[in-house]
Structure 1
Amino acid sequence: MRALIQRVTEGRVSVGGAVIGEIGPGLLILVCAMQGDSEAQADKLAAKIAKMRIFKDDADKMNLSVRDIGGSALVVSQFTLSADTSRGNRPGFSTAAPPAEGERLYEHFAAALQAQGVPVATGRFGADMAVALVNDGPVTIWMDTDAL
């Protein structure tokens, strides 16, 4: 699985003008299931993100996790994280998991993160979403379970 994690002071996702997910301080996580991914990879990614120390402590050092600060996560499906830009000018997305599998793993990841003690709000898989955020720092981190 691939994820792009952004430390935010707030974030929300809307579909058709209606807000369907919203958080205050925490993480906006764009996530993509790749072909061959499994629940074990979703669990591993959720555990790693829940413990990642990217929030500032009293000494202004990135030393605290989203759980430590009592933050939340906004998890949004993002199949374009699978983009292959190696040929031509139009990205290919053939390495993304098929839609039914991608949705299942997306939902599993969100539930696994919730099970790690992080309150989770979500977008809607496959929907045309408008995502708004205030990136804090900015802190943006790319993760791929193949590299964990």
Structure 2
Amino acid sequence: MRAIAVILLATFVTGCEKEKGEDLLARLPYWKWVHSEKKDDFTDVVSRSSVLKSGPISDGNEEPVEMHFRCTAGKMDFYLSWNRRIESDSLVDIRVDSDPHEPNKWEPSTDRKSTFYPFLTPPFLDRLAASKSFIARASTLSGEITAKFDTSKVLEETKEVRAACKF
């Protein structure tokens, strides 16, 4: 009888620890998709976005880098929101899966916290949608940062945004 009680207690404690760990992971800001649709109050232009948050960043800051897919008025944008100021002359070095890395000059936002991919084409998005990982590196005032994204669900998660832009 005592052995059964010990087994039941161990099962209960193990189950609670597992739930506790899963709750903790669910609350972390990493590897998640967020979708939004906004309508401009003045122009009635609708903007649709799908955003993928990266895993933990190399600079130790807990705020992830965000990969944005946005369609506004038929124009498709692909950009990274670094949530940190990027050096004005910084190259953004990217790597899709095990392909060779590609250092390029991306267009910075006015606050220099985001960079826009300048060569956006449907074949590039198709390549990204078929990939498993995307790694990006840029320079900030305090050094280089590297962000890694799990791109295994890009095709599914960006379907509506791409359809809205016929992309």
Fold shared by both chains (TM-score > 0.5):
no
Instruction: Pick the TM interval, shorter chain.
Output: under 0.3
TM-score normalized by structure 1? 0.25
TM-score normalized by structure 2? 0.23
Greater Cα radius of gyration, structure 1 or 2: 2
